[in-house]
Amino acid sequence: MQRVALPSATKAPTSRISRNSRVAVSSRPCGVRAAAVGIEKEDYIETVPDSLLRAGIDDQNSMKGRFERVIREAQDSICAAISEVDGTPFHQDAWTRESGGGGITRVLKDGNVWEKAGVNVSVVYGSMPAEAYRAAVGRDVKDLKDADRVPFFAAGISSVMHPWNPHAPTMHFNYRYFETEEWNGIPGQWWFGGGTDITPSYVVEEDMKHFHGTYKAICDKHDPGFYPKYKKWCDEYFQIKHRGETRGLGGIFFDDLNDREPEKILAFSTECVNNVVNAYVPIVTKHMNDSFTEEEKRWQQLRRGRYVEFNLVYDRGTTFGLKTGGRIESILMSLPKTAGWEYDFQVAEGSPEAEFLDAARNPRTWV
């Protein structure tokens, strides 16, 4: 496989992982930062427990426990599928917190197919400042003062995968469950959120039909109204407003979902996350050995720059993590290893790059 104009890098130590794999113990000076925002410091561990919930307090059959099992199993199966294609194992860091919760970050770096791929699982207990609560729910909340702190539970799986080849797309997914406790007159709330979206550098209509078709079939199975609603929501959410274009070519996105029984939303979220590999990997294997030019690699780097802009300026998950004092390496795992910016870059009229920009500025119906 050809690699063009890429900086050299030393591979990080890796180890093959499983649910109870051994991982490197790390001591990082994060206690002051975490304590200041209501999330305890991380205690890095060698063996990952079967559950990151609070032992003796949380029911494993509760929605918290059931959702954790879904995302832990998804992390295992997705990482296994990606490693099988790439031929490279993921490196793992894992940690717990004294009063409950923890996380597992798995990262593949400098692989044969992916320049960087990461799959995170987190289970978090804490108290969030008013600003973070507003960011989490995406709106202002009456009677919530700036000095208030709201107790919360959050669990989620998130992933971004950046291939080397500019003809193989980047992909992102995130599925999460959130609860707040009743506090100071503010009623307790629960909701689900999530989605899977794709960010190619070039438009290949057949690939987009496959990706979007996979998720439309899932949506139609659970509610025929889901796909048109969540596809539109995805196009709107991933708008880079200061550029007037989307980050990629869409997928599905939903948030604050609690309009039906939680079991039904759990079933929908489970099927979505369990089809990430089916929707994405065939597209990568189709293109991972495509030839490419330096100009095509340059274009990929510029599109990655747009990816960085969206994540750091607009993404609610990134904002929430930074404002609640989450683990920085995990929060910023989504960023590509390399990206580019050029002053006043213009694409040639009628070029494949111009076609992509048109699709990013005028979201298309793929299925």
Say if residues 352 and 203 touch (Cβ distance below 8 Å).
yes
Active site residue: 172, 210, 212, 287, which one? Answer: 172
The rounded distance, in Å, linking the Cα atoms of 131 and 323 is 8
What string of DSSP letters covers 146-193? TT-EEEEEEEEEEEEEEESSTTSPEEEEEEEEEEE--BTTBPPEEEEE
The token duo for 60 is: 């494993």
Strand order in the sheet with 189-199: 43-44, 91-96, 102-109, 114-129, 149-163, 170-180, 189-199, 251-257
Judge whether 91 counts as a catalytic residue. Answer: no
Strands 149-163 and 91-96: unpaired
User: Residue 262's Cα: distance from chain center in Å?
Assistant: 22
> In this structure, are residues 42 and 28 in contact, taking their beta carbons and an 8 Å threshold?
yes
Residues facing residue 193 across a β-bridge = 176
Note the maximum CA span of the chain.
63
In degrees and rounded to multiples of 5, residue 117 shows phi and psi of: -145, 135
Residue partners of 303: CB distance under 8 A and separation at least 6: 199, 201, 356
Query: Which two three-digit tokens encode residue 219?
Result: 């949506």
CA distance 96 to 103: 6
Positions marked active-site: 172
